[in-house]
Chain A
Amino acid sequence: MISVKMVWRNLMRRPLRSVLTTLSITVAIGLICFLSTVITTLYSGIQNADNRRLAVMSAVGLFVELPIKYQAAIEKVPGVEMTTKFQWFGGYYRSQKNFFAQFAVDPATLFDMYPECRVPAEQREAFQRGRTSCLIGSALAKEFEWKVGDTIPIIGALNPHPDDRAWEFQVAGIYHSEVPNFDNRTMFFHWDYFEETLEAGGREPGVGVFSVRVAPGADVPRVIADVEQAFHDSEQRVDCQTEAEFQRQFVTMFGNLPLFVGWIGTGVLIAILMACINTMLMSLREQGAEIGILKALGFTDGATFGMLVVQSLVLCGLGGLIGIVLAWATQGAIGTALGTTFPGYTIQGVTYALAAAVTVGVGLVAGIVPAWRAANLRCVEALRETN
């Protein structure tokens, strides 16, 4: 009963209005996709974390280092298959705005623990051989145009070089990871070189995080409890968690971001809902006479109601579709722009679903409001509506 042609003609009655409304929805949906993706990206690390990998750190906090000898003790805990260590270096390249993560690591065990870190075999060997060499992520290589063989000076803010100069590392390899929670913007170098250099200056460095792989068949919660118990009476207590929990810890530190973003999203939603209802009511004012005629011709209330709702859904649907396509098309550019502080920006299925739901929801509500009014109008009144 509802003619597509009629719906289209009604929308094109005032083309500028329809275009502006559609564009408003496009903009709003684009924004909603962005906000939603920020949240999903932040939490994606948690979802993809290997749940047989554990993180061991000081129970006091990340600022505090654990003694190196703890590594041997951890490896003795039943159920522990292997360990590797990470120490946050906290330096920067030339100026503070060039901020990226640097870690002192065990090159021998890093790759076994993190198979997602992919490096060509000869680069991996070069890294493992070269004491002062480093491994950089593909995003870093791209941003600073570093190649294998380059020497990178890093100013040690947290760990100053005892000779009062910048630390220097030669790029032995470039790694790439497809997994969101292992980002491509990190630099790894040798723990031994780190330890030696600092000890020459009179400092004994500790370790920030030990990474542990649980042996197949072992019970993860049991291993966690055992690891923590092992150091209960030592000079430093430890906190052991699955990698997923460890990542979640970082995310929650930002505060209640989902709530914050939710508020913004709600505001956006209200704004476009108002815009759409406004447009539909304006259309109704002009279509009033036509509806009277339709009813006089025998169209049921249900049919006119349906037509108005369809009109609204088409308008919103078009806007939403363009918004979603735009979001999809620009995610690469946005990801690059955010790259520094926010690696791994990719839109996920749940965001598309949310955008679609919002589009349909707004379309329905904005259509029902005038449709309900129109349905209650009797013929004569509808004809008078134009005046």
Chain B
Amino acid sequence: MLIPLSYNLRSLFVRKSATFLTVLGIGATVAIVSGVLALQQGFASMFTAGGREDVAIFLRPGANSEGDSQFSRDRGLKLIKSIPEIAVSEEAGPLASMEAYLAVLLPPARGGVTNVPLRGVQPVTFEIRKEELHIVAGRKFTPGNDELIIGSRLVDRIQNCRLDDVIQLNKTPFRVVGVFEHEGQFGGEIWGDLDRLLAAMGRYGPNRVIAQMRPGTELGSVDPLEVMFEDDPPEPAEGTLAARLLKDTEVPAKVYTEKQYLASQTVFLSGALYFLGGLLMVIMGTAAIFTATNTMLSALAARTHEVGILLALGYRPVPIFFSFLFEALVLGLLGGLAGCLLAQPFNGVKAGTMNMQTFTEMAFAFRVTPVVLGIAISFSLMLGLLGGAWPAWRAARLKPTVALRQG
């Protein structure tokens, strides 16, 4: 027969200071871990949010990211012409565009300098992106003009990044004529006309080609995450578009879906954040477990006589074990809830860091997602479980005659 749960719940609130301190201690631990995970979630969701499976990214075969890749303008055009699988729209023609990926050193509001991503695009890019990208202030830049539009996430984070500001790119001043919103990575970029940007920065050609593919097109591309870490990476299967492009003699190219490409670009930072979160979980979790153990041992010491009464009445050791374990779990849960509450103010707070893979600034926000909350609560329950196991076992091992003697 089980010991009434009300016994444990009420006992927790008898020694208010001990319960409060333990809950706060666990809460601080959970809050920190949640914060780091929220950072990772904010970062990951920003990138995966934009990852479409129907958009293909074409790079030079040896390149690992668009920063490494380069085509000449002619070869870019030839590439586009050689791929019949590209979707064609009535108004805009083939939905393929060339893009340049550059960076410009700008001072962020926090001080110092940072490499802000700069993207030169053609008008077709807007056609491809029309569902995801919206102008929220001002207007699009006019092709052929020295004009820029700014991603909304940059507006307050970088100095002089507002409507009508002038940004100097090398020796050419460009005017900011609009602000746009994009949930994914573009929301943290500055966009301008491809040819004007190439000219200003002294580049001879775009970095990549993007295209919206016809529905049902199978690229056959190899997941870049598999390629990156292998000494002998696999090749795309024979007969696929990806294989054909790699072997092309005129304009060889490597192709990924946008989703695959974005995942590969963020894997190191994502991995680093997961690692940090895991490290904090283990280290701070250990200290939290010790705290919980101490609290429960102290509670047991004060209630040894009560355990004696229960045993004398006929309650068995196993229910007593679960009773104390339950109490520890509740402690953990309360700590977890406290931690989630403490982490909430971080939700939406803007953050930015440099992505080592692309060497450019990424602006994103903390996101306390259900995943974060789920991990936080599970973590806190685990803390309660591990912290309470030893005291619960001690409680179950008490002999009634010995326990009753303690006053």
Q: Which of B266-284 contact A (CB under 8 A)?
A: 280, 283-284
A156 proximal to B (CB < 8 A): yes
Q: Are B103 and A279 in contact (CB under 8 A)?
A: no
Q: For residue A158, which residues in chain B have a CB less than 8 angstroms away from its CB?
A: 63, 67-68
A119 proximal to B (CB < 8 A): no
CB pairs A–B below 8 angstroms (14 shown): A25-B287, A27-B283, A60-B170, A61-B104, A63-B67, A64-B102, A94-B231, A157-B68, A252-B111, A252-B112, A253-B113, A274-B22, A281-B21, A282-B295
Q: Which of B344-387 contact A (CB under 8 A)?
A: 351-354, 356, 359, 361
Q: Are B287 and A272 in contact (CB under 8 A)?
A: yes
> Contacting B283 at CB < 8 Å: which of A31, A155, A263?
A31
Given A158-B67, A274-B22: 4 more A-B contacts, CB < 8 Å: A21-B290, A21-B294, A24-B287, A275-B290
B77 proximal to A (CB < 8 A): no
In the assembly, what is the distance between CA of A90 and CA of B67, in Å? 10
A278 proximal to B (CB < 8 A): yes
Q: Are A95 and B104 in contact (CB under 8 A)?
A: no
Q: For residue B145, which residues in chain A have a CB less than 8 angstroms away from its CB?
A: none
Q: Are A267 and B28 in contact (CB under 8 A)?
A: yes
Q: Of B24, B25, B227, B229, which is in contact with the most chain A CB atoms at under 10 Å from its CB?
A: B25
Given contacts A267-B284, A279-B294, A281-B18, contact A61 B103 (CB under 8 A): yes
Q: Of B26, B228, B290, which is in contact with the most chain A CB atoms at under 10 Å from its CB?
A: B290
B60 proximal to A (CB < 8 A): yes
Write the A177-219 contact mask toward B (1 if CB under 8 angstroms, else 0).
0000000000000000000000000000000000000000000
A268 proximal to B (CB < 8 A): yes
Q: Are B290 and A160 in contact (CB under 8 A)?
A: no
Q: Of A160, A249, A253, which is in contact with the most chain B CB atoms at under 10 Å from its CB?
A: A253
Q: For residue A59, which residues in chain B have a CB less than 8 angstroms away from its CB?
A: 105, 170
Q: For residue A31, which residues in chain B have a CB less than 8 angstroms away from its CB?
A: 280, 283-284
Q: For residue B290, which residues in chain A have a CB less than 8 angstroms away from its CB?
A: 20-21, 23-24, 27, 275
A271 proximal to B (CB < 8 A): yes
In the assembly, what is the distance between CA of A96 and CA of B65, in Å? 11
Q: Of A20, A90, A267, which is in contact with the most chain B CB atoms at under 10 Å from its CB?
A: A267
B293 proximal to A (CB < 8 A): yes
A256 proximal to B (CB < 8 A): yes
Q: Which of A76-114 contact B (CB under 8 A)?
A: 90, 94-97
> Contacting B105 at CB < 8 Å: which of A17, A239, A270?
A239
Q: Are A160 and B353 in contact (CB under 8 A)?
A: no
Chain B proximity of A92: nearest CB distance (Å): 8
Residue of chain B at shortest CB distance from A264: B32
> Contacting A17 at CB < 8 Å: which of B21, B24, B67, B294?
B294
Given contacts A263-B35, A275-B25, A282-B18, contact A61 B228 (CB under 8 A): no
Q: Are B32 and A17 in contact (CB under 8 A)?
A: no
Q: Place the interface of chain B in its size category.
A: 35 or more
Q: Are A60 and B68 in contact (CB under 8 A)?
A: no
A329 proximal to B (CB < 8 A): no
Q: Which of B18-72 contact A (CB under 8 A)?
A: 18, 21-22, 24-26, 28-29, 31-32, 35-36, 60, 62-64, 67-68
> Contacting B21 at CB < 8 Å: which of A58, A264, A267, A274?
A274
A side interface size, CB within 8 A: 57
Q: For residue B201, which residues in chain A have a CB less than 8 angstroms away from its CB?
A: 60, 64
In the assembly, what is the distance between CA of A248 and CA of B114, in Å? 11
A47 proximal to B (CB < 8 A): no
Q: Are B352 and A236 in contact (CB under 8 A)?
A: no
B202 proximal to A (CB < 8 A): yes
In the assembly, what is the distance between CA of A341 and CA of B352, in Å? 19
Q: Are B32 and A275 in contact (CB under 8 A)?
A: no
Q: For residue A160, which residues in chain B have a CB less than 8 angstroms away from its CB?
A: 60, 62
Q: For residue B114, which residues in chain A have a CB less than 8 angstroms away from its CB?
A: 252-253
Provide the main secondary structure of the chain A interface. Answer: helix
Q: For residue B302, which residues in chain A have a CB less than 8 angstroms away from its CB?
A: 285
Residue of chain A at shortest CB distance from B282: A27
Q: Are A271 and B170 in contact (CB under 8 A)?
A: no
A277 proximal to B (CB < 8 A): yes
B121 proximal to A (CB < 8 A): no
> Contacting A278 at CB < 8 Å: which of B25, B67, B104, B227?
B25
Chain B residues packing against A (C-beta within 8 Å): 17-18, 21-22, 24-26, 28-29, 31-32, 35-36, 60, 62-64, 67-68, 102-105, 110-115, 169-171, 201-202, 227-231, 233, 280, 283-284, 286-288, 290-291, 293-295, 297-298, 301-302, 351-354, 356, 359, 361
Given contacts A268-B284, A270-B25, A275-B287, contact A253 B354 (CB under 8 A): yes
Q: For residue B104, which residues in chain A have a CB less than 8 angstroms away from its CB?
A: 60-61
Q: Are A256 and B298 in contact (CB under 8 A)?
A: no
Given contacts A253-B113, A256-B110, A281-B18, contact A30 B283 (CB under 8 A): yes
In the assembly, what is the distance between CA of A158 and CA of B63, in Å? 7
In the assembly, what is the distance between CA of A156 and CA of B69, in Å? 11
Q: For residue A96, which residues in chain B have a CB less than 8 angstroms away from its CB?
A: 64, 227-229
Q: For residue B295, which residues in chain A have a CB less than 8 angstroms away from its CB?
A: 278, 282
A237 proximal to B (CB < 8 A): yes
Q: For residue A157, which residues in chain B have a CB less than 8 angstroms away from its CB?
A: 62-64, 68
In the assembly, what is the distance between CA of A64 and CA of B101, in Å? 12
Chain B proximity of A79: nearest CB distance (Å): 25
In the assembly, what is the distance between CA of A59 and CA of B103, in Å? 11
A-B CB proximity, top 3 nearest: A252-B112, A274-B25, A267-B32
Given contacts A253-B113, A275-B294, A278-B25, contact A97 B103 (CB under 8 A): no
A144 proximal to B (CB < 8 A): no
Q: Are B284 and A278 in contact (CB under 8 A)?
A: no
In the assembly, what is the distance between CA of A235 and CA of B29, in Å? 54
Chain A proximity of B344: nearest CB distance (Å): 14
In the assembly, what is the distance between CA of A24 and CA of B283, in Å? 9
Write the A143-173 contact mask toward B (1 if CB under 8 angstroms, else 0).
0000000000001111010000000000000
A72 proximal to B (CB < 8 A): no
In the assembly, what is the distance between CA of A20 and CA of B297, in Å? 11
A324 proximal to B (CB < 8 A): no
In the assembly, what is the distance between CA of A341 and CA of B272, in Å? 11
In the assembly, what is the distance between CA of A95 and CA of B21, in Å? 49
Q: Are A274 and B28 in contact (CB under 8 A)?
A: yes
A1 proximal to B (CB < 8 A): no
Q: For residue A156, which residues in chain B have a CB less than 8 angstroms away from its CB?
A: 62
Q: Which of A17-37 contact B (CB under 8 A)?
A: 17, 20-21, 23-25, 27-28, 30-31
